[in-house]
Structure 1
Amino acid sequence: MLTIFYDGYCPLCTAEMRLLRDLDTQKKLILEDIHAADFSERFPHIDPIQADKILHGQLQNGEVIKGLEVTCLAWKLVEKHKWMQVLRWPVIRLFADLGYLFFARYRHSISSFVTGKPRCTSCQKEL
């Protein structure tokens, strides 16, 4: 079981969460928008400002994981994109994590380029 704390204002993030939700036939994922009105009440241990900077996830045992650890585990749990596990190999991990941090920082600009929308307010309702 993995809880993913994602940015519901990011069109790319929301699209990925929607796809993961649709592929999660065994119900191994819980998707939580960090911009939900009651987020801080339900998850006081997750700082939404930090979770907006880097993707956060929480394992069933309460351990918080971040960045590509979350993404790779999510895809592993839905049994898709098995190639992504290569991104966790020791040498590749360093460069993959740097690439992820770049993406996370500029995701709204990247989203604007890819989708034409840097941010959206309706994405939250769509998921």
Structure 2
Amino acid sequence: MQFTVFYDGGCPLCMTEMRHLMKRNTENKLAFVDINHPSFAVEYPELDSEACAARIHGRWSNGQMLTGLDVTYTAWRLVGKGWLYAPLRWPLIKPLADRLYIVFAKHRHRISYWLTGKERCDSGSCQINEKN
């Protein structure tokens, strides 16, 4: 079963993570969709673009949706590195991690600027060379 990650292609940190996931996606368990791509609304009319912009979304091929850190953990698990994010899903840590993720997601462009010097990807500055 394939898992599709709906990511913000305008976010430098998001793009960095997607590049790392794509590199490790050797068994094609993941598909990637940039929510900023002009065809997003046409190809995925059932998805709320504002909700997808507010936090990362993922969908199994059977239609089951995940959001937030559940998407991150699932994606990394599918490429064999789930152990990196597993602690964020542990029962005692999960509620706090989820709240912190919501803050991160809301301010991801500002945080990207602090960490990378770029607030947004534009003019292909963070472009992925693979088909999304």
5 Å matches for 1:104-123?
A: 104-121=105-122, 122-123=124-125
Report the Cα distance in structure 1 between the residues aligned to 2:38 and 2:82, rounded to whole angstroms.
32
* CA apart distance, 1:10: 0.3
Q: TM-score, normalised by structure 2?
A: 0.91
Equivalences for residues 50-69 of structure 1 within 5 A: 50-69=51-70
The runs of 5 or more residues in structure 1 that have no matched partner are none
Q: Distance in 1 between matches of 2:88 and 2:22?
A: 22
Conservation of the 8 A alpha-carbon contact between 2:58 and 2:66: yes
Residue 125 (structure 1) aligned with residue 127 (structure 2): yes
Question: Mapping of 1:34-53 within 5 angstroms?
Answer: 34-53=35-54
1:17: which partner in 2? 18
Matched-pair contact (CA < 8 Å) for 1:33–1:124: no
Change (3 A) 1:9 1:22: same
CA contact (8 A) 1:4 1:30 kept: yes
TM-superposed CA distance for 1:81, in Å, is: 4.7
Partners of 2:61 and 2:17 in 1: CA distance:
21
Between Structure 1 and Structure 2, the one with more helix by share is 1
Deviation at 1:29, TM superposition (A): 0.5
Partner in structure 2 of residue 32 of structure 1: 33
Could you list the per-position Cα deviations for residues 42-83 of structure 1 after superposition, in whole angstroms to 9, with x for gaps in the alignment? 111111111010101001210111000000000000001513
Give the 3 Å change call, closer, same or farther, for CA 8–123 of structure 1 in structure 2.
farther
| Contact kept in structure 2, 1:4 and 1:58, CA below 8 Å | yes
Determine if contact 2:55/2:67 at 8 Å carries over to the other structure.
yes
Following superposition, the deviation at residue 124 of structure 1 comes to 5.9
Runs (4 or more) in structure 1 with deviation over 4 Å come to none
Percent identity over paired residues: 42
Deviation (angstroms), 1:86: 1.6
- Secondary structure of 2:4's match? strand
Distance in 1 between the 2:106 and 2:62 partners? 28
Q: How many residues align?
A: 127
2:35 and 2:49 in contact (8 A); partners too = yes
Corresponding position of 1:70: 71
The whole-number CA distance in structure 1 between the counterparts of 2:125 and 2:48 is: 21
Unpaired runs of 5+ residues, structure 2, are none
User: Following the alignment from structure 1 to structure 2, what is the Cα–Cα distance between the partners of residues 89 and 114?
Assistant: 27
RMSD over aligned Cα atoms: 1.2
Cα deviation, residue 102, structure 1? 1.0
